[in-house]
């Protein structure tokens, strides 16, 4: 039973057609969390639709959140246009993989202020999907192509000099990571299985590992001092590009308290969901050398970004500031009323941190030609102080990306919050849907579940309370039998034509 679970359920959301309407909307609107930007055209949904959405997130087929490609930062849209014709990876997967690879080139050279705190454009992202068919590895490989020209230019360096200049780190210890960051605080850590990294962090002898890495994300200076060495890490801007399967992630998260830990909250998640045979493209794809094409990002953007002198502050235009303050206040109020600590914490990380990071990347890419001139004439200080501002359009695009990643986080939070509580219930749902085609006789279901009578009774009662299952009777011979029927929306999420 789960009657002691007091937090209100997480909901995805829609947008009102006007801000005045949003202020006076019924309670159903208060349960919605997505954008109220002028560019958002998502419909407001009824309470019944929201309840059905919660059922699907808990017990239905995992579904990817669609990426609205019309409102991407132009540089992100440019990358997506070049890569999506070369793979059947979902657009959200490709974008989420690439953002840290772009961000590492800016590192700590540019910052924005949010309540007097410096925010660097370093990004942590994690791809979630089934092995082999979700294309996590492909997405990370494609993202790496954009850094390949710079990394290849270091091939002739000595090992010591290479370690100092490379932007990439793979499968290294915490001690080695700190040494790398002491040499160059702008680095990208690429990990193809973050679940194993989490497992390593959770070991008793690594008690400080997670906290140390979390502080690096926030740009906290560190001093490493022991008998062998003395190292200082100043203004770190560590980016991370990682991947995992949902099974590995749930296994290594630990418990619900992990949801409130600062480490996981700093990641942007993208979950590919279930992949059907029809989603897989078995053709050869575009006939061009993608690595050569993506080298254009080095020529057009990355080399300019790395040439920016450290300590440049990017500021908001008045239009961008006004938009952000109004939009943020409305979204925050709606999330706050949900009374869900984990959701509010993730919301704060995304909208108080990543919104600024997206603004930096978008603005520096959009103004690359002007930046190039400022660099050539050694006028970057004046350029940032007097000319360059985040436009209102860039502010809206950044907010739309934040909305996308919050919507990706909501189903993940729901599953992580209930992963231990609802494991038995999900097992029964899978049996009813896949083995019994949506209708399971009591005795057969209990025998197939391999649960004790008490465990089975608690799980079934929970499913009935959540309206995931209803009870019917059927003629089993001598006496009527009990039949468990899955909710139609759950069944149709797995078998649309069923």
Looking at residue 205, its pLDDT comes to 67
Q: Note if the pTM is more than 0.75.
A: yes
Over the stretch 435-490, which tens digit does the pLDDT of each residue have? 999 999 999 999 999 999 999 999 999 999 989 999 998 887 777 889 999 999 99
Residue 171 has pLDDT above 90, yes or no: no
Whether the CB-CB separation of 428 and 434 falls below 8 Å is answered with no
What residue segments make up the domains of the chain, in order of their start? Answer: 69-309+340-367+391-418, 423-494
Which has the closest alpha carbon to 104: 357, 350, 481, 296? 357
Residue 258 has pLDDT above 90, yes or no: no
- Region 250-272: mean pLDDT is 73
Looking at residue 225, its pLDDT comes to 76
Token pair 């989490």 in the structure block, residue: 198
Confidence label for 342 from pLDDT (cuts 50, 70 and 90): confident
Kind and range of the H or E run holding 169: strand 168-170
CA-angle at 134, arms to 274 and 186, nearest 5°: 125
d(CA 447, CA 309): 68
| Most trustworthy range by pLDDT among 137-146, 241-250, 335-344 | 137-146
Confidence label for 423 from pLDDT (cuts 50, 70 and 90): confident
Non-local (6+) Cβ contacts of 431 within 8 A are 440, 445, 448, 449
d(CA 310, CA 370): 18
The residue ranges of DSSP E strands in 286-374, in sequence order, are 312-313, 315-316
Looking at residue 43, its pLDDT comes to 43
Non-local (6+) Cβ contacts of 67 within 8 A are 90, 91, 92, 95, 404
* Other residues' Cβ atoms within 10 Å of the Cβ of residue 392: 17
d(CA 416, CA 427): 16
| Most trustworthy range by pLDDT among 40-44, 119-123, 212-216 | 119-123
Beta strand 469-475 pairing with 480-486: antiparallel
Pick the CATH number of 423-494 from 3.40.30.10, 3.20.20.70, 3.30.420.40, 1.10.10.10: 1.10.10.10
d(CA 18, CA 178): 49
Beta strand 124-128 pairing with 267-271: parallel
Which has the closest alpha carbon to 371: 463, 307, 450? 307
Residue 328 has pLDDT above 70, yes or no: yes
Looking at residue 204, its pLDDT comes to 66
- Region 181-207: mean pLDDT is 81
- Please give the structure tokens belonging to residue 458: 């608690």
């Amino acid at each position: 039973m789960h009657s002691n679970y007091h937090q209100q359920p997480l909901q995805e959301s829609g947008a009102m057609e006007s801000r005045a309407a949003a202020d006076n909307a019924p309670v159903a609107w208060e349960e919605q969390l997505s954008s109220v930007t002028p560019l958002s055209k998502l419909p407001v949904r009824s309470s019944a639709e929201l309840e059905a959405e919660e059922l699907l997130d808990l017990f239905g087929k995992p579904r990817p959140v669609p990426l609205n490609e019309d409102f991407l930062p132009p540089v992100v849209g440019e990358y997506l246009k070049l890569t999506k014709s070369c793979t059947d990876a979902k657009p959200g997967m490709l974008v989420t993989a690439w953002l840290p690879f772009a961000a590492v080139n800016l590192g700590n050279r540019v910052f924005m202020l949010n309540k007097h705190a410096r925010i660097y454009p370093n990004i942590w992202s994690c791809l979630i999907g089934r092995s082999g068919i979700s294309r996590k590895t492909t997405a990370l490989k494609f993202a790496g192509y954009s850094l390949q020209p710079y990394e290849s230019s270091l091939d002739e360096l000595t090992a010591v000099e290479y370690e100092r200049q490379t932007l990439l780190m793979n499968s290294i210890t915490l001690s080695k990571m700190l040494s790398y960051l002491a040499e160059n605080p702008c680095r990208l850590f690429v990990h193809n299985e973050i679940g194993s990294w989490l497992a390593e962090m959770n070991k008793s002898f690594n008690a400080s590992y997670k906290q140390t890495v979390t502080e690096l994300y926030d740009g906290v200076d560190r001093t490493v001092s022991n008998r062998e060495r003395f190292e200082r890490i100043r203004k770190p801007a560590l980016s991370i590009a990682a991947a995992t399967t949902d099974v590995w992630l749930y296994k290594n998260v630990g418990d619900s308290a992990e949801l409130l830990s600062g480490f996981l909250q700093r990641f942007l998640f993208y979950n590919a969901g279930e992949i059907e045979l029809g989603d897989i493209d078995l053709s050869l794809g575009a006939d061009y050398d993608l690595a050569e094409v993506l080298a254009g990002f080095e020529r057009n953007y990355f080399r300019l970004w790395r040439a920016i002198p450290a300590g440049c502050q990017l500021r908001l235009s008045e239009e961008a500031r006004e938009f952000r303050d109004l939009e943020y206040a409305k979204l925050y109020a709606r999330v706050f009323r949900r009374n869900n600590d984990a959701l509010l914490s993730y919301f704060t990380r995304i909208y108080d941190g990543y919104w600024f990071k997206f603004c930096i990347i978008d603005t520096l890419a959009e103004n690359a030609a002007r930046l190039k001139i400022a660099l050539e004439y050694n006028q970057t200080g004046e350029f940032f102080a007097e000319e360059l501002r985040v436009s209102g359009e860039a502010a809206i695009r950044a907010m739309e990306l934040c909305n996308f990643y919050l919507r990706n986080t909501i189903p993940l939070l729901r599953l992580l919050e209930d992963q231990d509580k609802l494991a038995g219930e999900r097992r029964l749902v899978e049996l009813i849907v896949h083995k019994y085609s949506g209708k399971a006789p009591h005795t057969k279901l209990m025998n197939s579940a391999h649960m004790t009578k008490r465990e089975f009774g608690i799980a079934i009662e929970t499913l009935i309370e959540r309206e995931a299952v209803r009870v019917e009777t059927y003629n089993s011979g001598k006496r009527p039998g009990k039949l468990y029927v899955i909710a139609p929306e759950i069944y149709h999420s797995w078998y649309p034509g069923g």
